[in-house]
Structure 1
Amino acid sequence: MALAQDGDVVAYQSLLAAVLPLLRAIVGKRINDPDKGEDVVQDILLSLHRNRHTYDPKLPFRPWISTIAERRTMDALRKMYRQGAHEVLVDEYPETFLSDETNTPLEDDLVFASGDALSRALKTLPAGQQTAVELLKLREMSLKQASEVSGMSVAALKVAMHRALKNLRVEMAPKVERPKGGAVGK
C-alpha cells in the first residue's frame, strides 16, 4: 500500500488483486446474495481508492482495510433493510379493473361502431379533430406520420385527438330521454 500511495500502478493493481478474496470473505459473512455482495465489494474498492491517502504505512494494512470493509458492509445492510421495509412481497398482483373492459371503451367503440354511426359522429367534429381521428385511429398512423400528412404539429394532433375523443364520447353516448313536462326531480 505504501508503494501504491507513492504512485506505483503495478503495486496498486497487485494490492487490489490480493485484497479481493479478503473483502469477499468479509462481505460474504453478512450478505448472502452474491450479486448484492459483489456490489458491496466494488463499493469497498471505491472507498479504498478514495481513502488510500489516509493509510499510515507505519501501521498494519489488514486492520485498516478490514475496518473499511466492515463499515461499507454495514452501510449496505442498513440500506437494504430500509428499502425492504417499504416493499411488499405478493404472490399475485392485484387487478386494477373490476371487469375485463379496457381503460378507454370509446376507442374500442370507434373500432367496432357501425360505419354509419361513426360517420355521423365524425361529421359533428371540427375539421382538425376529424383529421386527427382519421389519421391516428382509422388509418393507424404514428404521430410523426400524421403530422407530415396533415401539416399539424404533433402537439396539435394530440390536443385534437383528445378533444375529438371527448366530443365523440358525448355524441355516441346513448341518449337518455327526459320525462315530458319540465324539470326532473321535483
Structure 2
Amino acid sequence: MNTSHHDDSARWSGWLAAAQQGDGAAYGRLLAELAPVARRMAVKAWGRNEDVEDVVQDILLTLHTIRHTYDSSRPFLPWFAAIVDHRVKDALRKRRRHQGRETAIDEIPETFLARPANTKTTDAMDLRKAVAKLPPGQRQAVELLKLQEMSLNEASTASGQSVAALKVAMHRAVKTLKGLLGP
C-alpha cells in the first residue's frame, strides 16, 4: 500500500471511530471522501454503467448500517473494500437475474385476436337488477363497500357486522354476481 492510501486509510479509520462515538461531523467528512472512492472502486469492478450510482448508494447505505462493526485497531481500507466487493457482486447477480428474464424487443409485432376482447358489456340496469337479487347480507356489503365506497371499518359500524363478516359477504356477493351476470 502506498503512503497516500495508508494516510487516507488511517484518516478514515479515525473518522469512523469518532463517528462510532457520535461525532456527526467526522461521519460527514468520512462519507464525503468515501463516495468518490466507492464510485471509482465500483466502476473498476462493475464497469461504466448507468446503474453504478445505485451501487455506490448501496455501498454507502451498507457502510452506514454496519459501521458499528468496524474495529479501529484493524486497517480501514480492507474492511471498506470488502463492503464494496460484496455490494458490487450483489448488483452483478441482480443484473444477471434480470437479464435472464428480460428479452430485448426491437419491434413490437401487431397481433389481432380472433374475437375482440371484453365484448360482453354489462349496463348499470343489469347490475342493479343483479345486486337486488343478492341475499340481504351480501346486498348490504355491496351497497356499503362498493356503491357508498365506505371503508371496512365504516361499513362495519354502519351495518353492525364485523369486518370479517363483511369481507365474507363481499366475496360471496362478487361470486354470486359473476354467476348472475355471466362470464
Aligned residue runs from structure 1 range 44-59, under 5 A: 44=63, 49-55=68-74
Mark the runs of 5 or more structure 2 residues left unpaired by the alignment: 1-9, 106-112
In the alignment, structure 1 residue 86 sits paired with structure 2 residue 97: yes
Larger Rg: 1
Q: Match for residue 118 of structure 1?
A: 128
Q: Match for residue 170 of structure 2?
A: 161
Deviation digits for residues 73-114 of structure 1 (CA, Å, limit 9, x no counterpart): 22122211221221144678xxxxx7664xxx8xx73xx232
Native 8 Å contact 1:48 1:65 kept in 2: no
Matched-pair identity in %: 32
Task: Return the TM-score normalized by structure 1.
Answer: 0.57
Deviation digits for residues 102-152 of structure 1 (CA, Å, limit 9, x no counterpart): xxx8xx73xx2326x733x34432211121122223333332222222111
Task: Return the TM-score normalized by structure 2.
Answer: 0.58
Q: Match for residue 26 of structure 2?
A: 13
User: 2:161 pairs with 122, 147, 152, which one?
Assistant: 152
Amino acid at match of 1:136: L
Aligned alpha-carbon RMSD (Å): 4.1
Mark the runs of 5 or more structure 1 residues left unpaired by the alignment: 56-63, 93-97, 175-186
- Partner SS, residue 71 of structure 2: helix
Amino acid at match of 1:76: R
1:163 shift after superposition: 0.9
